[in-house]
Structures are given as structure tokens and as C-alpha cells.
């Protein structure tokens, strides 16, 4: 339960920073940022699922969070430079995994609540 409290506090602090800090980027980077955010969200939902299944590992989560976001952004950038929409690969992969992780976390939560 202690880890959950730390995660909730971290989430609140992160949302507060995001809400009040005026971070902007050029609109030409919006494609790269959106794909990177999608990849990061996939990792977050994967972390939630892993926590609910008692298989969470902080090192895997942190490396996946930054690694997936950087990989997705680079894939979109390289595709943009080549004139090929490679960002579709990231959208399909991370979007599909995001929904899969959400579904598995939801099933795990329903199973745990059903056991109580």
C-alpha cells in the first residue's frame, strides 16, 4: 500500500507541474510528441497492469517509459525525413498494447474484487 500512496502523490505532483508550468513546443513537433506520449501512456498502463498482477519492476518501468517514448519519437522523425509515414507503426503497436494493457488491468481488478 505504501508504493501505491507514493505513486498517487507522484501523479498529483506531476499533474500540478504540468498544469502550472508553461511548457510549449513548436507545432512542427506535434507529430513526434503525440507518438512519444502514446508510447509513454502504453508504458504507464503496462506498469499499472504489472502492479495489479504483482509483477511490477521499477527498472523495467523506467527504462520502458523513456525507451518507448524515445523510440517512437525517433521512428516518427526518421519516417518524416524519409517521406514515409513510419509513425503509423508506432501508433498501431503502442495503441494496441495500450488497450491490451488496460483490458488486462481491468480484468485483474475485477478478479481481485470478485475474490473479496
DSSP letters for 55-80: ---HHHHHHHHHHHHHHHHHHHHHHH
Res 11: pLDDT: 81
Q: Return the half-sphere exposure (C-beta side, CA atoms, 13 A cut-off) of residue 89.
A: 14
Res 63: pLDDT: 93
pLDDT in tens, the chain (116 residues): 577 788 788 889 988 988 888 878 888 888 888 898 898 889 988 888 888 888 888 899 999 899 988 888 888 889 889 998 888 888 898 889 989 988 988 888 888 888 87
Torsion of CA 109, 112, 115, 116, to 10 degrees: -100
Amino acid at each position: 500500500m505504501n508504493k501505491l500512496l507514493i505513486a498517487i502523490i507522484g501523479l498529483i505532483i506531476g499533474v500540478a507541474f504540468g498544469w502550472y508550468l508553461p511548457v510549449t513546443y513548436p507545432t512542427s513537433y506535434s507529430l513526434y510528441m503525440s507518438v512519444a506520449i502514446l508510447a509513454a501512456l502504453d508504458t504507464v498502463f503496462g506498469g499499472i497492469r504489472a502492479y495489479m498482477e504483482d509483477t511490477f519492476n521499477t527498472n523495467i518501468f523506467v527504462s520502458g517509459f523513456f525507451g518507448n517514448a524515445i523510440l517512437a519519437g525517433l521512428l516518427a522523425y526518421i519516417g518524416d525525413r524519409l517521406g514515409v509515414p513510419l509513425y503509423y507503426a508506432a501508433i498501431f503497436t503502442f495503441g494496441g498494447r495500450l488497450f491490451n494493457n488496460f483490458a488486462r488491468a481491468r480484468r485483474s481488478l475485477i478478479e481481485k474484487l470478485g475474490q473479496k
